[in-house]
Each structure stands twice: as structure tokens, then as C-alpha cells.
Structure 1
């Protein structure tokens, strides 16, 4: 039995877990579980709420790691750490907080949420923007059913 099949056997809890893991820095997707549950007759608004909640909470883990890393980097005597922080800050500041609307994108989305933590984006703003982007993405995915 594949991991996705195992998650599917848990229904909505499996969807929550797949969405949560997919939003962390671990490589995984949640769309297959979401679509399968939708095809099996899952209630679309419930599926949307569970997937969005799991995915946003996973992004919050990245954010928290970034906050912790900020403390480590700022207090690090290594010039290289300070340079990397300045580079990340420059990129994030170029696109601003609005870039968090795209935290759902493959490859760059998860690191983006980490950088938001490193750069101390206000938590409330982080949660609102990430939630809007991830909600919209899952709504589009569900509209394919």
C-alpha cells in the first residue's frame, strides 16, 4: 500500500495530514488525496476547509523554523550567515509581503514561508496572505472535479 493510499484510508484526517506535510519543507503533494476524496463524494466545502487548514498550519511550521533561524543567524559571529540573511531579505523585500499569496507554488512556496519567518513578517499578515493564496489554489483544484 502506497503512502497516498494510507492517507486516503484516513479520509479527512488523511487529507489534513497530506496538506500539512506538503506545506513543510518535506517533498509531498496533497492534490491527489484532495481530488480522490472529492471524486469519492466528499463534501467540497469541508474538503476545502480541511486542506487549506492543514496546508496553512504546515506553512506556519516553516515560519516558526524561520523565526528560530533568525535568532541563530543574528547571533552568529559568522559573516557568511549575515550575508545570507541580507540576501534573503533583499529578495523578499523586492516582492514584498504580497509574495506570500504565492506560497502554494511548487519549489519556491515552502522556502518563501521560511524566509517570511526569518525576516519577521508579522504573524497576522503572514497567516492572512498564506491562507488566501492556499484557499484559492485548493478552490481551483476542486473546481476540476
Structure 2
């Protein structure tokens, strides 16, 4: 893997965890530069971002396993919980959203949402977001 694609992957991974990141800006810049074809750029960003969200999902699962009676007290978690309870794994299509995306993945793990369906919906939402960003800057 090329260093620039690795940087995009790492940026996307970090952006999907609880840490701030700027994968959209990096993707936009790389698309605008025209040095790479769209497929490796989109794949690198999507896979990195998906894996970061799955780390957050796993953190929720671990918390549920270790502290099954603990409640989700943060307002973001309560909001995410309502979305997950209403829409199930389909709510994870919105995992790319700022502020609410990370709590959605975390709460989905905590609530025990089916992992395979969660992977598919998270990946689809993130892929669509990166396709839109790339399309704007082509």
C-alpha cells in the first residue's frame, strides 16, 4: 500500500473512533490532485473508517459484557439508543454523521445489535458518504 493511501486509511480510522480526524478533507484533496484513481481512494477511506467504527462498536460490546447493569447516561448515548431501538441496525447507516455517529456504533454494540448486519449498514453509509465527497471534488 502506498504511503498516501495508508495516510488516508489511518485518517479515516481515527475519524471513526472517538478522536477527531479529517478524512473527508484528505480524500477531497487527494481526489482533486488526481494522482490516484478513485477506487483505491474510496476503498482506503471506507475500510479505515469502517474498522474505526467497529472498534467503537466493540467498546460498546465490551462495556455491556463487563458492566451489564450500567446505564448509558450521556445525552448523546440516550439519543443514539432511541435511534437504535427504533430502527435497529439500519440506524447505523448514519454512523458517518459527526457527533452522533460514534455514539450510534457504541450503543449498537452495547445493545447487542447483530454484528453482521451492523458491518453491512455501517460500511454502506460510509461508502456512500465518501462517494459523495469524491464526486464533489472530481
Range class of TM-score, shorter chain: 0.7 to 0.9
Find the structure with the greater CA-based Rg: 1
The number of residues matched between the two structures is 131
User: Where in structure 2 are the equivalents of 1:121-136 lying within 5 Å?
Assistant: 121-136=113-128
The partner residue of 2:107 within 89, 101, 115 is 115
> Residues 67, 144 of structure 1: CA spacing in aligned structure 2 closer, same or farther, 3 A cutoff?
same
Q: TM-score, normalised by structure 2?
A: 0.86
Runs of at least 5 residues in structure 2 that lack an aligned partner in the other structure? none
Deviation at 1:90, TM superposition (A): 4.7
Deviation at 1:15, TM superposition (A): 0.2
> Aligned equivalents of 1:56 and 1:131: distance in 2?
6
User: Where in structure 2 are the equivalents of 1:22-41 lying within 5 Å?
Assistant: 22-41=15-34
> Residues 107, 89 of structure 1: CA spacing in aligned structure 2 closer, same or farther, 3 A cutoff?
closer
Corresponding position: 1:72 with 2:66: yes
Query: What SS class does the counterpart of residue 96 from structure 1 fall into?
Result: helix
> Residues 49, 72 of structure 1: CA spacing in aligned structure 2 closer, same or farther, 3 A cutoff?
same
Q: TM-score, normalised by structure 1?
A: 0.82
Deviation at 1:106, TM superposition (A): 0.6
What are the superposed Cα offsets for residues 76-131 of structure 1, whole Å, 9 maximum, x if unpaired? 5xxxx2474xx565552023221100000010001110111101111111100000
Preserved contact between residue 64 and residue 110 of structure 2 (Cα < 8 Å): yes
Query: What SS class does the counterpart of residue 121 from structure 1 fall into?
Result: coil
Runs of at least 5 residues in structure 1 that lack an aligned partner in the other structure? 1-8
